Amino acid sequence: MTEETLQLGRNVPVPAGPEEAVLEAVPNPHPDTNYVARFTCPEFTSLCPVTGQPDFAHLVIDYVPHRLLVESKSLKLYLTSFRNHGAFHEDCTIGIAKRLVGLLAPRYLRMAGYWYPRGGIPIDVFWQTGTLPNGTWLPDPGVAPYRGRG
User: Catalytic residues, which ones?
Assistant: 48, 55
| Tens digit of each residue's pLDDT (9 = 90 or more) over 39-85 | 999 999 999 999 999 999 999 999 999 999 999 999 999 999 999 99
Residue 18 lies in a domain: no
pLDDT of residue 119: 81
CATH number of residue 44's parent domain: 3.30.1130.10
Residue 5 lies in a domain: no
Residue 10 lies in a domain: no
β-bridge pairing 54-64 and 68-70: unpaired
Residue 52 lies in a domain: yes
| Tens digit of each residue's pLDDT (9 = 90 or more) over 104-146 | 999 999 999 999 998 888 999 999 999 999 999 999 999 988 8
Residue 13 has pLDDT above 70, yes or no: yes
Structural domains of the chain, count: 1
Residue 27 lies in a domain: no
pLDDT of residue 146: 82
Long-range contacts of 45-53 (CB under 8 A, 24+ apart): 45/82, 45/83, 46/82, 46/83, 46/85, 46/86, 46/87, 46/92, 47/83, 47/84, 47/85, 47/86, 47/87, 48/86, 48/88, 48/118, 49/86, 49/87, 49/88, 52/86, 53/118
Residue 138 lies in a domain: no
| Tens digit of each residue's pLDDT (9 = 90 or more) over 25-40 | 999 999 999 999 999 9
Three-point CA angle 67, 72, 78, nearest 5°: 110
Residue 140 lies in a domain: no
Residue 17 lies in a domain: no
Q: What global pTM score does this model have?
A: 0.93
Domain span including residue 61: 35-129
